[in-house]
Amino acid sequence: MTETLSSLPLLSPFIEFGFMRRALAGCLALSLGATPVGVFLMLRRMSLAGDAMSHAILPGAAIGYLVAGLSLPAMTLGGLVAGLAVAVLAGGVARNTVIKEDASLATFYLLSLSAGVLIISLRGSSVDLLHVLFGSVLALDDAALFLLAGFASLSVLALALGLRLFALEGCDPAFLARISRLGPVAHYGFMILLVLNLVAGFHALGTLMAVGIMILPAAAARLWVCNLGPLLLIAVGTAFAGSLIGLLLSYYVNLPAGPAIVLTLGACYLLSLAVGPLGPLASRWRSSWHFER
């Protein structure tokens, strides 16, 4: 039975190699945890803010690395602390000065990226730097997998409980502020979820790619449906399918796994733009059809 299965080219890498199975499990965790957060990130028009935040966790992770080397707990803790600090600081600067939020986030992310790279180069090799910037999805150990699965479970649970709250906060925040005291809970709760998932994504895809598995599937799914529930499901499905194809590409064509996954997700987005019913081509086709009738 196993022999017949391993003769299938789509399955054999995962049957033969433990590191491929681990990579796939890690991607499944990220698809379930990070992608739904990415959907809300996109709906709140915060996609670029998410990108900036993913850079913001770098100096924290780098300090963890400086203290303890490539240690999972130290880098995770450092990343969480730095990410949350920047989320609060950037929001505070935007609210209390003439600097708008986009500029505020850009300054923080440039500072974070340069500080992070500097700190790692103080002690480590360029291999370590590559590991931090682009992740190591093919080298996930047990501890990393448990961390990804744990964060994903927490994230799924929080989103399931707070779905209505997050939806209303995204759709009509002023109305939420009028009828409920939970507005700040929704805002900061979402920020915490974002940082958790960015740190998880950081371990697998690195600081420069972590946002890829959040935003690209979300944007692709948005071109197919207009309702939040199906949108979340399609985004998660796209993220997992894209990860699977990306891993197979990296195995057979010998590409770096992280970029292969993110590029595959990017291809899903481009395909959705071309054929998705809410994409620009479909709406043009529909309007010409209308006039021909």
Partner 1 sequence: MKPRARAGSEVLLRFDNLTLGYDRHPAVHHLRGEIVTGSLLAIVGPNGAGKSTLLKGIAGELRPLQGGIELRGLQRRQIAYLTQQATLDSSFPIIVHDFVAMGLWREIGAFAGLNHLLRRRIAEAIARVGLCGLETRPIGSLSGGQLQRALFARVLLQDAPLVLLDEPYGAIDAASVRDLAALVRQWHNEGRTVIAVLHDLEHVRQEYPETLLLARELVARGDTANVLSDANLLRARQLAEGRGEDQAAAICHSDHDAA
Considering the complex, what minimum distance in angstroms separates the CB of residue 229 from partner 1? 9
* From 2, 4, 96, 227, residue interacting with partner 1 (rule: CB under 8 A): 227
Query: Position 253: which residue type?
Result: V
Number of residues this chain uses to bind partner 1 (CB under 8 A): 23
Which residues, other chains included, contact 224 with Cβ-Cβ below 8 Å and sequence gap of 6+?
A: 234, 272, 276, 277, 278
Considering the complex, what minimum distance in angstroms separates the CB of residue 172 from partner 1? 4
Report the site for partner 1 in 139-168 (rule: CB under 8 A): 161-162, 164-165, 167-168
275 binds partner 1 (CB under 8 A): no
Considering the complex, what minimum distance in angstroms separates the CB of residue 135 from partner 1? 30
Q: Which is nearer to partner 1, 63 or 223 (CB)?
A: 223
How far is it, in rounded angstroms, from Cα 30 to Cα 48? 19
Q: Which is nearer to partner 1, 153 or 180 (CB)?
A: 180
Considering the complex, what minimum distance in angstroms separates the CB of residue 247 from partner 1? 30
Residue 47 CA, distance from chain mean position: 10
Q: Which is nearer to partner 1, 143 or 185 (CB)?
A: 185
215 binds partner 1 (CB under 8 A): no
Q: How far is CA 11 from CA 5, 178, 249, 257, 281, in A?
A: 7, 53, 13, 17, 35
How far is it, in rounded angstroms, from Cα 93 to Cα 198? 22
How far is it, in rounded angstroms, from Cα 250 to Cα 62? 27
Over the window 29 to 68, marking each residue x when it contacts partner 1 by CB under 8 A and - when it does not, the resulting string is --------------x-------------------------
Write b or e for each residue in 200-236: b if 16 or more Cβ atoms lie within 10 A of its Cβ, otherwise e.
Answer: bbbbbbbbbbbbbbbbbbbbbbbbbbeebeebbebbb
* From 1, 98, 127, 226, residue interacting with partner 1 (rule: CB under 8 A): 226
171 binds partner 1 (CB under 8 A): yes
Q: Which is nearer to partner 1, 27 or 165 (CB)?
A: 165
Considering the complex, what minimum distance in angstroms separates the CB of residue 222 from partner 1? 7
Q: Which is nearer to partner 1, 99 or 163 (CB)?
A: 163
Considering the complex, what minimum distance in angstroms separates the CB of residue 164 from partner 1? 5
The footprint of partner 1 (CB under 8 A) covers 43, 161-162, 164-165, 167-168, 170-175, 178-180, 182, 222, 225-228, 231
